[in-house]
Amino acid sequence: MNIWALTEDNVNLPRAGHLAVVTGASGQLGPIWCDELASMGCDVYGMDLPECDVSQKDQVTAAAVHCCKQMGIPDIIVLNAAIDNPPGSKASFFGNLERILAVNLTGACNVVDAFLSAMIEKGGGVIVGITSIMGFIGADQRNYPGGWEKPVGYNLSKAGLVQLARSLTTQYGGKGIRACCIGFGPFDGGKLDNVFLDKFLKNVPLGRPVSEASVRAALRFAVTCPEFAGQTALIDGGYCAL
């Protein structure tokens, strides 16, 4: 697997196969996306801290120039970079609102803007936003510790990614850009609070959190399904069906 980032020693990089850009490549899901794309034959370019804060347009531009110069124009972009205030933190409903939106939503727009013209000139590509059930529903306060408020910034940002995919598709679909989203319920990555999970799963028809196999399958579907455009696939064990 070839995962490259914005560092001075990345020269003479390979260009075999398709190229995928993944933001937030070192986060919880980032390594899974990188590994799955590599298994599909892609070279992977990671845009991540500390070299690239996606909320900073100048850093995104520098990373995009570096990527295109050293590896080529991406065929796939996975908009994964995101932050949140987890349960147990000193958060409030409007807490950290500007920063969450700056990273999760404006950051995604910065990345797309940096590559879009080149991708269109090349013939198109796929843009996959990583959203959440929180982009479609309000947080159920009964699942969280007493007095803790789920920050609305995260929910707003994930809903925004859905609209970004719709708008990119209707605006640029005719120029070869296919944008979509995949969204998830709680992911079983070993970091979920057991008290929260027990409460949450009572309302999940399948009775289990989202597995790594499911997130991999969702990404593979999003990347390879030719007419999956402007829409979101929700992987949540049936939670949003209730």
Q: Report the pLDDT value the prediction gives residue 194, as an integer from 0 to 100.
A: 87
**Dist. CA 177–CA 171, nearest whole Å:** 9
Beta bridge partners of 182: 130, 233
Domain range for 233 is 3-241
Intervals of the chain under pLDDT 50: 1-16
Q: Report the pLDDT value the prediction gives residue 91, as an integer from 0 to 100.
A: 76
Q: Report the pLDDT value the prediction gives residue 208, as an integer from 0 to 100.
A: 95
Q: Report the pLDDT value the prediction gives residue 88, as an integer from 0 to 100.
A: 62
125-132: strand order across its sheet: 3-4, 43-47, 19-23, 76-79, 125-132, 177-184, 232-235
CATH code for the domain in which residue 25 is found = 3.40.50.720
Structural domain total, the chain: 1
The structure's pTM equals 0.92
Q: Report the pLDDT value the prediction gives residue 102, as an integer from 0 to 100.
A: 98
**Dist. CA 106–CA 143, nearest whole Å:** 29
Q: Residue 190's CB: how many other CB atoms inside 10 A?
A: 6
The answer to whether 150 touches 144, Cβ cutoff 8 Å, is: yes
Q: Report the pLDDT value the prediction gives residue 141, as an integer from 0 to 100.
A: 87
